């Protein structure tokens, strides 16, 4: 007696340990085929507009492409880039900018919590805090330059409160310019993140907060023990867009405020891609740094996904 | 059958005629209306005025030609030019910087040897043509017809010097620091720095100063060794020069906001600042603002009296190798070598690069006299004869040296590292 005869439902040739794959009906097969056919145009578009350019970028990253001609060099372009101290300085700048993420999330969260209490004039303040989102990065950058300049508003304010001795030109030092950039970045993310958290708080079930109050929790305890855990999804979303912005949306801010300087003090990987390709005409090198940025973003995205899903018990 | 033969013959004749007419078109020999497109990155500099006036004069001479001068953003001008070359949608003529810039982009430029009559080329300053030719040898043929002779140069306010009691123009570091002291005491910013007038970046462009520091450190015959690395950027001579330069700010010789000031030109024009290091493209601006009070001086960044001056045809026009109007484009380039063009260039306040012509601007004439009468050695612009990557790193690091934010050694090490990262073919003992 063969196994297939002995075990009803097992397809011919399958091992006894594995359940048999249910045989698809004709209708299911036709539906599957139709699904593939209907999704094919979208797949073709994605491959044409994303897959091919990414593949080309990978190829050109291993050449000395100058926009007109390209000579194959090979993977040694990557080893050369990784041994360049300027490249590591640029990565360090990106890493240091990540330190601003907790502030770019924490401050809007605190503001949203205050506004959610419906303090007097909260509607006006909501509009004020949302304002940075409506302003272009270029304008923000230009205002920031005036604010941090030696004769700018910051130093005048310091002088007015008797702190003239600590007046400094933040944009003139490599580390201080990065600090000025980070502060501007935090400010520019204020509106978006505040609105995200306010929206989140508006979705919370008020009976839960009421129950917490009845149970005798104080305002602070309610925020940390009830509101914040319930806002987890919104914090995660805010975290994702803030990290992505820190890596890939600061170009115009850097371009206007510091042009990547002083030295390489505010040059991020994104800006480095632009400089290599468009200032120096070394498109191959630009492609190389673009691929590295792409890989970093994939890793960051996967880590975020992992963190979010592991808390839900879903794994990757 | 005969009917088909007739049709085939007619079709072949039509194809042949089309081919002939398109061939004629591409060589630019049509006598019909032609629009010649020129791209420039001059912004509001006097070069822009000169080019526009050259275009107008050329149109008068060639009634069928309209010259369309397109001002492109300076910051990514070369990237735009390169991208346009890939799709062959760029201009017929384009402003091109000379030196290594030309050689970097020569793949889409036309070598003008044999294209422009030798008699016309002979009218151009041979030293100017040299820096636009392969291996920097004029015999290989130029890619660019220079627009003007440029000087990286110092400008000073004679009235400020007189008021401060500075009797003579400083010629070395010691005299410069002494002059600074007097000028500061008289209430002037001795030497102003900032990014005013610089379309290239947020900070001031340090290569004017570095050119003079290298003049003070090495003879012109040794400058190729900065390209090849035989003289390391980190050499003691270079470090010493930068160390002295960085003292300009710490000794109060400059404004305090050297990295972020934007109206440094304004400070000089209004008489608040006594000196600035700039170039011929701003001569007219200064003479208009200060009249006879402004004069030129050689930045004295040297321990002994400085003996060299940056005198270099830094830019000009080149013809793209994909132009559809090569005949008219070449006519324009030929026109640039004429005395009529020289007059137009001079009228814009620039120094023509045409032999036997002169400049009517007294400050420009003073610069020419540094070479012709004071027998100073003419040096090229340093940023045009060292690698673009090194220039880029230097542009980022050197302003911080003057600001005192980083050490000379650190900045020079970065430049040396950048040089070391380049393939050996880009740092040979001869130019490419």
Helices (H) and strands (E) in chain B, counts: 19, 11
Contact criterion met (CB < 8 Å) for B418 and A145: no
Sort residue B349 into left (φ over 0), alpha (ψ -120 to 50) or beta.
left
pLDDT at residue B76 tops 60: yes
Contact criterion met (CB < 8 Å) for A85 and B389: no
**Which one is the CATH code of B150-311+370-426: 3.40.50.2000, 3.40.190.10, 3.20.20.70, 1.10.1040.10?**
3.40.190.10
State how far the Cα of B150 lies from the Cα of B315, in Å rounded to an integer. Answer: 8
% of chain B with per-residue pLDDT over 70 = 91
Distance from CA of B67 to the nearest CA of A (A): 27
Where does B34-148+313-355 sit in CATH, by number? Answer: 3.40.190.10
Instruction: Find out whether A289 and A272 touch, Cβ atoms under 8 Å.
Output: yes
Is A308 a member of any domain? Answer: yes
| Domain of residue A306, CATH code | 1.10.3720.10
Handedness of CA B413, B415, B418, B424 (dihedral sign): negative
Cβ-based neighbours of A36, under 8 Å, separated by 6 or more = none
CB pairs under 8 A between A and B: 97
Tell me if chain A has a CB within 8 Å of the CB of B250. Answer: no
Tell me if chain A has a CB within 8 Å of the CB of B108. Answer: yes
Please provide the average confidence, as pLDDT, over all residues in chain B: 89
Cβ-based neighbours of B359, under 8 Å, separated by 6 or more = B346, B350, B351, B352, B365, B368
Residue A236 sits in which domain range?
85-312
State how far the Cα of B343 lies from the Cα of A312, in Å rounded to an integer. Answer: 78
| Confidence (pLDDT) at A7 | 43
Is A125 a member of any domain? Answer: yes
Which residues of B are less than 8 Å from A264 in CB distance?
A: 396-397
pLDDT at residue A19 tops 80: no
CB-count burial class (<10 Å; 0-12, 13-18, 19+) for A297: middle
**What is the chain A residue with the closest CA to B86?**
A68
Distance from CA of B237 to the nearest CA of A (A): 22
State how far the Cα of A117 lies from the Cα of B270, in Å rounded to an integer. Answer: 56
Instruction: Find out whether A191 and A130 touch, Cβ atoms under 8 Å.
Output: yes
Confidence band (pLDDT; 50, 70, 90) for B5?
Answer: low
Instruction: Pick the more confident residue, B55 or B204.
Output: B55
| Confidence (pLDDT) at A74 | 93
Question: What does chain B come to in residues?
Answer: 432
Least confident of A34-38, B40-44, B286-290: B40-44
Kindly report the pTM of this predicted structure.
Answer: 0.78
Cβ-based neighbours of A4, under 8 Å, separated by 6 or more = A10, A11, A12, A13, A14
- Number of domains within chain A: 1
Report pLDDT digits (tens) over A218-272.
888 888 888 899 998 899 889 988 998 888 888 989 988 888 878 888 999 999 9
Which residues of B are less than 8 Å from A272 in CB distance?
A: none
Break chain B into its structural domains and give their ranges.
34-148+313-355, 150-311+370-426
**What is the chain A residue with the closest CA to B256?**
A150
Is A139 a member of any domain? Answer: yes
Confidence band (pLDDT; 50, 70, 90) for B197?
Answer: low
Is A258 a member of any domain? Answer: yes
Is A26 a member of any domain? Answer: no
pLDDT at residue B18 tops 60: no
* Same fold across B34-148+313-355 and B150-311+370-426: yes
| Confidence (pLDDT) at B151 | 95
Contact criterion met (CB < 8 Å) for A258 and B79: no
pLDDT at residue A14 tops 50: no
How many angstroms separate the Cα of B169 from the Cα of each of A169, A252, B58, B151, B287? 32, 43, 42, 18, 18
Report pLDDT digits (tens) over B91-131.
999 999 999 999 989 999 999 999 999 999 999 988 889 99
User: Which of A171, A265, A282 lies closest to B260 in CB terms?
Assistant: A171
| Confidence (pLDDT) at A20 | 61
Which residues of B are less than 8 Å from A88 in CB distance?
A: none
Contacts for B166-174: CB closer than 8 Å, 24+ residues apart: B169/B295, B169/B297, B170/B297, B170/B300, B171/B298, B171/B300, B171/B302, B171/B305, B171/B306, B172/B300, B172/B302, B172/B303, B172/B304, B172/B305, B172/B306, B173/B244, B173/B300, B173/B301, B173/B302, B173/B303
| Mean pLDDT, rounded, for A147-173 | 84
């Amino acid at each position: 007696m063969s196994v297939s005869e002995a075990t009803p439902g097992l397809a011919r040739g399958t091992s006894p340990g594995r359940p048999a794959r249910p045989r698809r009906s004709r209708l299911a097969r036709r539906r599957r085929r139709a699904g593939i056919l209907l999704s094919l145009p979208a797949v073709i578009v994605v491959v044409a507009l994303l897959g091919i350019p990414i593949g080309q970028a990978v190829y050109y990253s291993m050449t000395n492409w100058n926009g007109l001609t390209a000579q194959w060099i090979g993977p040694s372009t990557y080893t050369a880039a990784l041994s360049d101290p300027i490249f590591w300085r640029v990565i360090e700048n990106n890493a240091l900018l990540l330190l601003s993420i907790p502030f770019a999330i924490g401050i809007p969260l605190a503001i949203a919590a205050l506004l959610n209490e419906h303090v007097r004039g909260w509607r006006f303040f909501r509009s004020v805090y949302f304002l940075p989102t409506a302003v272009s990065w270029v304008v923000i950058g230009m205002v920031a330059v005036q604010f941090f300049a030696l004769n700018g508003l910051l130093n005048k304010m310091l002088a007015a409160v008797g702190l003239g001795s600590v007046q400094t030109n933040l944009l003139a030092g490599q580390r201080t310019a990065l600090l000025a950039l980070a502060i501007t970045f935090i400010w520019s993310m204020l509106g978006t993140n505040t609105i995200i958290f306010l929206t989140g708080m508006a979705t919370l079930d008020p009976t839960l907060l009421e129950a917490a109050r009845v149970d005798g929790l104080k305002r602070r305890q309610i925020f940390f023990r009830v509101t914040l855990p319930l806002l987890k999804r919104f914090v995660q979303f805010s975290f994702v867009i803030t990290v992505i912005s820190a890596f890939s949306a600061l170009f115009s801010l850097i371009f206007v405020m510091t042009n990547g300087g002083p030295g390489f003090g505010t040059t991020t990987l994104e800006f480095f891609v632009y400089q290599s390709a468009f200032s120096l005409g070394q498109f191959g090198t630009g492609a190389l740094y673009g691929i590295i940025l792409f890989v970093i973003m994939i890793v960051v995205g996967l880590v975020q996904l992992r963190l979010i899903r592991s808390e839900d018990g879903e794994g990757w | 059958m005969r009917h088909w033969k007739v049709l085939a013959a007619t079709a072949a004749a039509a194809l042949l005629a089309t081919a002939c007419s398109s061939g004629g078109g591409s060589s630019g020999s049509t006598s019909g209306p032609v629009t010649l497109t020129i791209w420039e990155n001059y912004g509001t500099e006097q070069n822009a005025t000169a080019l526009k006036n050259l275009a107008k004069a050329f149109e008068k001479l060639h009634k069928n030609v309209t010259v369309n001068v397109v001002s492109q953003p300076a910051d990514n001008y070369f990237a735009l030019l390169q991208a346009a070359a890939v799709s062959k949608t760029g201009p017929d003529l384009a402003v091109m910087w000379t030196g290594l810039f030309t050689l970097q982009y020569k793949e889409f430029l036309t070598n003008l040897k044999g294209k422009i009559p030798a008699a016309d080329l002979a009218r151009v300053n041979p030293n100017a043509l040299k820096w636009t030719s392969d291996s920097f040898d004029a015999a290989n043929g130029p890619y660019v017809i220079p627009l003007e002779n440029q000087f990286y140069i110092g400008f000073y306010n004679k009235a400020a010097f007189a008021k401060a009691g500075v009797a003579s123009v400083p010629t070395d570091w010691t005299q410069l620091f002494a002059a600074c002291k007097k000028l500061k005491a008289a209430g002037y910013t001795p030497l102003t720095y900032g990014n005013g007038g610089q379309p290239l970046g947020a900070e001031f462009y340090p290569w004017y100063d570095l050119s003079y520091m290298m003049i003070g450190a090495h003879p012109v015959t040794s400058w190729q060794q900065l390209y090849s690395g035989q003289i390391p950027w980190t050499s003691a001579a270079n470090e010493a020069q930068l160390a002295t330069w960085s003292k300009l700010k710490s000794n109060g010789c400059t404004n305090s906001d050297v990295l972020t000031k934007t109206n440094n030109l304004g400070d000089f024009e209004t008489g608040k600042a006594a000196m600035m290091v700039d170039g011929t493209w701003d001569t007219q601006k200064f003479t208009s603002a200060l009249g006879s009070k402004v004069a030129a001086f050689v930045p004295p960044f040297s321990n002994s009296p400085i003996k060299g001056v940056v005198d270099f045809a830094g830019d000009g026009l080149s013809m793209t190798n994909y132009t559809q109007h090569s005949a008219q484009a070449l006519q324009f380039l030929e026109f640039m070598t004429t005395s009529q063009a020289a007059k137009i260039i001079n009228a814009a306040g620039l120094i023509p690069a045409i032999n036997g012509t002169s400049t009517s601007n007294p400050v420009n004439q003073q610069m020419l006299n540094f070479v012709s009468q004071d027998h100073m050695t003419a040096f090229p612009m340093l940023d045009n004869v060292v690698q673009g990557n090194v220039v880029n790193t230097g542009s980022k690091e050197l302003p911080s040296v003057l600001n005192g934010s980083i050490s000379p050694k650190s900045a020079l090490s970065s430049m040396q590292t950048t040089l070391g990262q380049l393939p050996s073919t880009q740092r040979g003992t001869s130019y490419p």
